[in-house]
């Protein structure tokens, strides 16, 4: 069995190099496919990190009426803190809001001049509410709207809620991520089919070019596995080589964009690539081996009647 295995391996490597130009065409298409697979993995990770980053910064800002009394605001804060969904509430008084606004726009003469002309503090007190989970904000927002509906219209406490704008941004980002994932999935399926077909035809051509040798092996009593083995090995080799090349192509790109991804998405793609390299390697090379093996098995089953 060991001798037979060695001979199958040798025949597979010989066939791989004998049909070098044909092998290169199959490997090229598989490289493109696996590069797209790897790119989809990276993009999906980036978009997921971007969504998590946005969701982690989501809160409900409750802006109070200018005339609202601080005692009433603190009473509302106590009621909200009793809700099981609420993790944290930060109160910002009108004075604190004015101080923060002034420090932020201290260098803008137009804004500072306009603030002086108003002559009084135009800013409102606010409550910044953080929930334990993103899905809990809708319930908190509904509770606040019910509270707002019961207020005296002549002396309101709550002036504005900003959660609908935050929710709209999250929904828009989620829709974009869904569209990108759908497009990537379709592109990946098309390339997978192309890779299988080209590898399938490559193995078929290899079978055709060695038809005389196969006939001789049949005559001398070679087993079916001995005849089929080299072609299946060639398919596996296509996948391994393509996976390694795809990873080698991805590396310099990820190195160059790693700092930019951390700046824009709060997620360093290079660190993810390095830290999770084993899994990425196994996925890409494993996908390549699977593509090559499926193609070769199909070609052998159809065109090698042994």
Distance CA 234, CA 302 (A): 16
Residue 244 confidence class, pLDDT cut points 50, 70, 90: very high
**Nearest C-alpha neighbor of 94 from the set 60, 58, 68:** 68
Q: Is the pLDDT of residue 35 over 80?
A: yes
Q: What is the mean pLDDT of residues 90-115?
A: 82
Coil vs helix vs strand at 301:
helix
DSSP assignments along 247-281, one per residue? HHHHHHHHHHHHHHHHHHHS--HHHHHHHTHHHHH
Of the ranges 152-161, 221-230, 234-243, the best mean pLDDT one: 234-243
Q: Is the pLDDT of residue 62 over 90?
A: no
Per-residue three-class SS string for 39-98: HHHHHHHHHHHHHHHHHHHCCEEEEECCCCCHHHHHHHHHHHHCCCCEEEEEEECHHHHH
pLDDT for residue 219: 67
Joined together, the tokens standing for residue 269 give: 């793609």
Q: pTM value? A: 0.65
| Cβ–Cβ < 8 Å for 134, 55 | yes
Q: Is the pLDDT of residue 300 over 80?
A: no
**pLDDT by residue (tens digit) across 269-298?**
888 888 999 999 998 898 888 888 887 777
Q: What is the mean pLDDT of residues 235-245?
A: 87
| Cβ–Cβ < 8 Å for 115, 100 | no
Which residues are paired to 60 by β-bridges? 129
Residue 40 confidence class, pLDDT cut points 50, 70, 90: confident
Domains of the chain by start residue, with CATH: 2-54+170-303 (no CATH), 66-156 (3.30.70)
Coil vs helix vs strand at 127:
strand
Residue 121 confidence class, pLDDT cut points 50, 70, 90: confident
Q: Is the pLDDT of residue 104 over 80?
A: yes
Dihedral sign for Cα 130, 133, 138, 143, please.
Answer: negative
Q: Is the pLDDT of residue 303 over 60?
A: no
pLDDT for residue 213: 65
């Amino acid at each position: 069995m060991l001798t037979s295995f060695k001979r199958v391996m040798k025949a597979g490597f010989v066939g791989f190099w004998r049909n070098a130009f044909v092998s290169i065409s199959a490997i090229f298409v598989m490289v493109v496919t696996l590069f797209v697979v790897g790119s989809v993995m990276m993009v999906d990770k980036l978009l997921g990190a971007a969504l998590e980053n946005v969701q982690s910064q989501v809160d409900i800002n409750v802006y109070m009426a200018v005339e609202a009394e601080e005692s009433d605001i603190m009473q509302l804060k106590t009621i909200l803190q009793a809700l099981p969904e609420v993790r944290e509430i930060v109160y910002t008084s009108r004075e604190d809001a004015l101080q923060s606004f002034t420090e932020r726009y201290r260098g803008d003469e137009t804004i500072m001049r306009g603030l002086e002309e108003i002559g009084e503090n135009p800013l409102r007190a606010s409550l910044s509410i953080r929930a334990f989970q993103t899905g809990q904000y809708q319930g908190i927002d509904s509770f606040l709207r019910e509270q707002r509906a019961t207020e005296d219209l002549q002396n309101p406490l709550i002036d504005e809620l900003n959660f609908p704008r935050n929710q709209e941004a999250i929904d828009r980002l989620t829709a974009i991520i869904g569209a990108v994932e759908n497009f990537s999935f379709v592109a990946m399926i098309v390339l997978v089919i192309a890779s299988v077909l080209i590898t399938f035809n490559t193995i078929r051509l290899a079978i055709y070019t060695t038809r005389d040798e196969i006939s001789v092996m049949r005559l001398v009593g070679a087993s079916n596995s001995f005849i089929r083995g080299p072609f299946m090995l060639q398919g596996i080799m296509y996948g391994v080589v393509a996976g390694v090349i795809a990873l080698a192509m991805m590396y310099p790109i990820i190195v160059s964009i790693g700092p930019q991804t951390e700046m824009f998405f709060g997620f360093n793609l290079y660190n993810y690539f390095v830290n999770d390299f084993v899994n990425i390697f196994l996925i890409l090379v494993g996908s390549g081996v699977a593509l090559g093996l499926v193609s070769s098995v199909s070609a052998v089953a159809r065109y090698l009647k042994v």
